[in-house]
Amino acid sequence: MITVKEAKSIIQKHIPLLETETVSLNKAGSRVLAQEITATFPSPRFDNSAMDGFAVRAVDTKGASQSNPITLKMVSVISAGSPSDVAISPGESAQCMTGGKIPDGADAIVMVEDTTGFSDANSVQIFAETQPGKHIRKQGEEIQEGDVLILKGTSITPSEIGTLANFGYAEVAIAKKPRIAIFGTGDELVEPGNELKPGQIYNSNLYVFAELAKRAGARVVMRNVIKDDRESLRAFLSEALITCDMIISSGGVSMGRFDYVRDVFMELGVQEHFWRVAQKPGKPLFFGTAKSTIIFGLPGNPVSAYIGFIEWVWPVLNRMMGKKDPNFLTGILKEPFPREKVKYRFLFGNAWMEDGKLVCKPATKVGSHMLSSSLEANCILGVENGERPLRPGEEIRVNILPWKTIG
């Protein structure tokens, strides 16, 4: 049995980076960028008006007020998107709409509200003095050409989509989705919707795995509940090892009479890197590789399986797609946390902000079979082994569930 730290270190040495593909922008949402995105031009591209108004030389408005308007000759109308070779000379102005290019010679915009308004007249009266640069968006004030906009390994959200479109990217390179096989073993497993007979339980883990895989950006291509039959298991795994980037099992890696998933893995040429980890829940955790396929054997207890996926599988999926490891937070306990003498301890929990600090508490249900403990949770709390429980006021590691927020 190895420590959590040792197991994490072993896994890091065996994570392959997936191939990339190029897709159109309208298919890039929720995927992971496989290239660095840089600005193809400065933003704004040119000096433009932040207001509907009049482009002027600020010096020409000196002393202007409601009681002392200044009259300027109106020489042109500039709209957003229209080319402009207009030049402003002393005593002149041009109507300039929001986004319109600032004409040569002008250095400020006077809002239309501070003038006699837009018209076809040859002049306009200015009722307010302005200063150079007023209401002008300067070229490159937001971004310079060549600036890094989005880092490689970033998940593409609406913000990234908008930025990509804004700088003319019609297609981008993204990481391919990891292809995953998930399976559970046991004659006792029954699909939801069917009647339970004595000794049977519903198959919940594969539904959890499938949803977690989807949220992590992976694609489940094989999924099956396999009865306690060695040959059926061998057939499933033989195909999965050829077609999938990762295989995840639910149950069958402990020491029960029918727990022979690990044995079949070995028979098929899987290299075992570790089998048991000093953690609770989830001590029977298998990790192996076969060429470029990663294999995780997670426990069958639903809480152990759920936490195991978040703590062990999810980070590996991220790394396969080029994403960085998550940054865990540190919270202050509001209630005691049961620590183990020789094992790392995980529990579902809840974290929230209080007086500017992150505080948290563990779930009240701590059994590895009590899946309802996840319903109100927004995080997984974890702590190294120790001789006594953590007390309120002490710090603990907080892993916010990726689809949850801090209250």
Taking only the tens place, the pLDDT of each residue in 161-201 is 999 999 999 999 999 999 999 998 877 888 889 998 888 88
For 53-71, the pLDDT digits (tens) are 999 999 999 999 999 999 9
Q: Who contacts 208 (Cβ-Cβ below 8 Å, separation ≥6)? A: 302, 305, 306, 309
Whether the per-residue pLDDT at 256 is higher than 60: the answer is: no
Q: Who contacts 354 (Cβ-Cβ below 8 Å, separation ≥6)? A: none
Element (H, E) at 358: strand 357-362
pLDDT score of 257: 45
Q: Who contacts 65 (Cβ-Cβ below 8 Å, separation ≥6)? A: 127, 128, 129
CA distances, 372 to each of 76, 297, 365 (Å) = 69, 23, 8
Closest CA to 309 of 300, 363, 367: 300
CATH classification for the domain delimited by 48-137, as one of 2.170.190.11, 3.30.420.40, 3.60.150.10, 3.20.20.70:
2.170.190.11
Q: What percent of the chain has pLDDT over 90?
A: 81
pLDDT score of 228: 76
Q: Report domain extents, the chain.
A: 4-17+177-320, 22-42+143-175, 48-137, 329-400
For 353-363, the pLDDT digits (tens) are 999 999 999 99
pLDDT score of 227: 80
Element (H, E) at 230: helix 230-243
Whether the per-residue pLDDT at 218 is higher than 80: the answer is: yes
Positions of E strands within 57-143: 70-78, 92-96, 108-111, 123-126, 136-137
pLDDT score of 298: 93
HSE of 87, CA atoms in CB hemisphere, 13 A = 1
Is there a contact between 285 and 304 (Cβ–Cβ < 8 Å)? no
For 86-104, the pLDDT digits (tens) are 899 999 999 999 999 999 9
Q: How many CB atoms lie within 10 A of CB 399?
A: 21
In this prediction, residues 143-170 reach a mean pLDDT of 97
pLDDT score of 272: 95
Which superfamily does CATH assign the domain made up of 329-400 to?
MoeA, C-terminal, domain IV (2.40.340.10)
d(C-alpha 361, C-alpha 377), whole Å: 10
Whether the per-residue pLDDT at 255 is higher than 60: the answer is: no
d(C-alpha 303, C-alpha 324), whole Å: 26
pLDDT score of 320: 97
CA distances, 292 to each of 15, 33, 179 (Å) = 8, 21, 12
pLDDT tier at 370, thresholds 50, 70, 90: confident
pLDDT score of 398: 98
Closest CA to 380 of 317, 285, 304: 304
In this prediction, residues 33-39 reach a mean pLDDT of 97
pLDDT tier at 252, thresholds 50, 70, 90: low
pLDDT score of 253: 64
Whether the per-residue pLDDT at 258 is higher than 80: the answer is: no
pLDDT tier at 259, thresholds 50, 70, 90: low
Q: Who contacts 17 (Cβ-Cβ below 8 Å, separation ≥6)? A: 319, 320, 322
d(C-alpha 297, C-alpha 184), whole Å: 10
d(C-alpha 92, C-alpha 103), whole Å: 11
pLDDT score of 199: 86
Domain 22-42+143-175 CATH assignment equals 3.40.640.10:
no
Average pLDDT, the chain: 93
Q: Is-same-fold flag (4-17+177-320; 22-42+143-175)?
A: no
Give me the architecture of the 4-17+177-320 domain, per CATH: 3-Layer(aba) Sandwich (3.40)
